[in-house]
Structure 1
Amino acid sequence: MIFFWFLLTAALIIYVQGVLFRRYSLRNLKYTRRFQKNTCVSGDEIELIEELSNEKWLPVPWLRAESQLSAHLKFRGGDNFAVSSGQHYQNHRSFFSLAPYTKLKRTHRLTPVRRGVYTLSSITMTGGDLFGSIGVSQQIQLHGELLVYPKAADVPVHELPHHSWQGETEVRRYIVPDPFVVAGARAYQPGDSYRQVNWKATARSGSLQVHQYAYTASRTLMIYVNVEDGESMWRTVTNEALIEQGIEWAAGAALAVINEGMEVGFAANMAKEGEIDSVRVLPRSGHEQMNILLDMMARLKLERTEPFRTLLAQETGVGYNGLDLLIISAYWNDELERESERLRGLGHAVSVWTLPSAKKLADSDSLQEGRAGA
């Protein structure tokens, strides 16, 4: 008889706690998930931060937070969470246990291995009773975004042909002395104008000194990236790694030009996420322009908006003259050569960098100037 009452009491306790936790386990729970920062460069390690608070008298014996994230976010191993990855997406599961009126903060380290836009859209919370036999779920909407910039490749921008050289940026090689940029003073030489005399330096040295002018240049570079990974491609990119390499080359060329104080623009037969037209950014200088380019490159979709030859043909009617044009493409054929010749006929200097084959992508020496002309 005692055993019977023991079983009855145990069954009643299990039933009551099951009803209690089913009804209240997910109540007054606050959960947030966010990235440590909103932007980073591909390959940087950042943090994904989870914060959970139990604002009620009832403990939470166990809680599972499950969400789907991009497979391009590589998590470092750790306790109390699990990741199962597929080709494009991965399931991320975190496990918690909270006492009454407690807060918990958990940090996961991850590395984005590819540029792009990564969002935190929703998460499913599942909690249950003391014995794990009953579970109740609730979906929470999240609003978080991580913008991953392409990693700027180290590219030989100095090898590009050039046209316009007069401006405010000092360069290492001789082009033309700029009378507005004074680098110092030197001794007077026959042929120097007396208007160039540096009177302060003359007084200090006791001999006639003239201004030493810096050699400066102003380059306006327009970069074009072809999303087509082969001549027969229609819309969808097969070799995504190859085109990603091209975007990194473009980022590297733009950064090198910006750091020299020169102007750079960008165009591609790709659209940004949520748009349908080919992207185009007019040439400008300054680090704000670089941020605009990186933001746009991060949001590029690897889908063709129009044939690359059409994009180049449209550039002949833009109205610019005497620019430096850099074309980055996985292939080169007679049609593209004809379009580049038309651009040269408008006074542009055109250079072509041909992307390497997939098996050579890891070779840092594979970047070569495929064709160049002025």
Structure 2
Amino acid sequence: MRPRDLLSKWDNLLFLVFIFAVLFRQVWLIAFSVAVSVVFTAARIWNYYALSRITYRRLWRYRRGFPGESLTVRILTANEKILPLPWLRTTDPWPLAVGPQDETLLSPSHIADQGNLVNLYSLRWFEKVERTVALQLRQRGIYDLGPTQLQSGDPFGLFDNAVEHDNQEYLTVFPEVLPLERLKLDAEDPFGDRRARRRLVEDPTLPIGVRDYHPEDDFRHIHWPATARSGQMQVRMFQPVSSQVMVVCLNVSTSEQPWLGTYHTMLEQLVKVTATLVVHGVEDGYAVGLISNGCLAHADRPFRILPGRSRDQLSLLLQTLAAVTPYTTTPFEKYLVKAASNLPYGATLLIVTALVTPALLETLISIRRYRTHTTLICLQAAPPPTIPGVRVLHLPFSP
């Protein structure tokens, strides 16, 4: 029987007792029934207003970090009304991967890899209570916090009430950045295009005019409308740019067939290698981009971040890698061919993969004609085959 139904029966019983006492002139019984009714009424009113104007806030200095780091969160709970609260219980769902350093602070939850941060309060009128919790960042990812459940009631323990406080927030744990030496890259020329970075090339996506045709010009750059108007062979002129663009291509597939599942330890290593390339690329002066066939958390499609040198580019790249999941909607080979056609001309491609399949080999052979600076970084146990025109690095991974 629900508490509300039980209390309704008590109300009916008290009413019958009151009528009986009046009919038989039992003063003490009249006083008793009235007193109990007054207590019930006061308890109902108290319970009705108990959770009004209650605030629960998480106060952060930082909400992002790397695995192994620690953060602090201040939890501010306030009763912003004149009615005091004899008891208040807050239940905040909290992922274990970013849980408190003292793991006993979390109570068990029915959801896997999650606990509940429970706090009990007794708040006077217009009182605020602040508590500080030290958190330990344990694993890469973007984690949801909240919503928080608030529960309170009357001081007599007759009623209780619960509401859900919509205060969802996100806590980001970036992937670990490895030392560049562990990737076995050449310290003098880590990305394999040092000479090309100083050479000025023409970007065919940036035309700036036309000029007369020279024998060494590419036949594909002939401007036929201008040739028809002038009566002489004309070719397009393009904006000269320096090839300081790098795009990291991450293949999140760890098995040849999707139904074979995901090797999560291998996936984390792939993300770490990608993060290392991204960070060192930005530090080395590249405009760094990122593409992957993996979907992001709370998304259902592959992502692409165009190269850029903005102040927030590195933060965007690392936050995107923090959200990478093993779920794919497109084979990596098809996605790479489609995405490579939209990348800047002369960009250096760094392809990070756990497997080198025949389909990927065919794709690399086909794109090497117009992507002269391509590096394949493979983490599978067996050495990958040699691909003419493609720099191959073998980093066998063992957990």
Given candidates 113, 123, 130, the residue that maps to 1:105 is 130
Q: List gaps (5 residues or longer) in structure 2.
A: 1-28, 200-241, 382-391
- The equivalences for 1:82-101 within 5 A come to 82-85=106-109, 86-101=111-126
Shift of residue 307 of structure 1? 0.4
Given candidates 263, 279, 286, the residue that maps to 1:239 is 263
Task: Specify the alignment match of 2:65 in structure 1.
Answer: 40
Q: Distance in 1 between matches of 2:343 and 2:121?
A: 62
CA RMSD of aligned residues (A): 3.6
Shift of residue 230 of structure 1? 0.5
Q: Deviations over 1:158-177 (max 9, x none)?
A: 43452353658xxxxxx9xx
Shift of residue 257 of structure 1? 1.4
Describe the shift of the 1:260–1:98 C-alpha distance in structure 2 as closer, same or farther (beyond 3 A): same
Does the alignment pair 1:283 with 2:307?
yes
Is the Cα–Cα contact under 8 Å of residues 163 and 348 in structure 1 kept in the other structure?
no
Q: Which amino acid aligns with 2:193?
A: H
Does the alignment pair 1:221 with 2:249?
no
Task: Specify the alignment match of 2:140 in structure 1.
Answer: 115
Given candidates 326, 330, 337, the residue that maps to 1:306 is 330
Describe the shift of the 1:323–1:23 C-alpha distance in structure 2 as closer, same or farther (beyond 3 A): closer
In percent, how many aligned pairs have the same letter? 21
Q: Which amino acid aligns with 1:111?
A: Q
Q: List gaps (5 residues or longer) in structure 1.
A: 169-174, 176-216, 358-367
SS at match of 1:256: helix
Q: Distance in 2 between matches of 1:27 and 1:313?
A: 57
Is the Cα–Cα contact under 8 Å of residues 355 and 380 in structure 2 kept in the other structure?
no
Shift of residue 24 of structure 1? 3.2
Q: Distance in 2 between matches of 1:264 and 1:62?
A: 54
Task: Specify the alignment match of 2:280 in structure 1.
Answer: 256
Describe the shift of the 1:126–1:161 C-alpha distance in structure 2 as closer, same or farther (beyond 3 A): closer
Is the Cα–Cα contact under 8 Å of residues 36 and 49 in structure 1 kept in the other structure?
no
Q: Which amino acid aligns with 2:291?
A: A
Which structure carries more relative contact order (alpha carbon 8 Å, separation 6+)? 1
Task: Specify the alignment match of 2:226 in structure 1.
Answer: none
TM-score if structure 1 supplies the norm length? Answer: 0.70
Does the alignment pair 1:342 with 2:366?
yes
Q: Deviations over 1:305-333 (max 9, x none)?
A: 21011123325534655443222112122
TM-score if structure 2 supplies the norm length? Answer: 0.66
Larger radius of gyration: 2
Shift of residue 251 of structure 1? 1.1
Given candidates 317, 325, 330, the residue that maps to 1:293 is 317
Q: Distance in 2 between matches of 1:242 and 1:318?
A: 29
Q: Which amino acid aligns with 2:78?
A: S
Shift of residue 48 of structure 1? 2.8
- The equivalences for 1:48-197 within 5 A come to 48-77=73-102, 82-85=106-109, 86-130=111-155, 132=157, 134-156=159-181, 158-159=185-186, 160=190, 162-165=192-195
**19-28 or 261-270, which moves further after superposition?**
19-28
SS at match of 1:93: strand
Describe the shift of the 1:97–1:355 C-alpha distance in structure 2 as closer, same or farther (beyond 3 A): farther
Q: Deviations over 1:77-112 (max 9, x none)?
A: 289x54325424333322212123311111222223
- The equivalences for 1:345-360 within 5 A come to 345-355=369-379
Shift of residue 246 of structure 1? 1.2
Higher helix share: 2
Given candidates 2, 7, 25, the residue that maps to 2:50 is 25
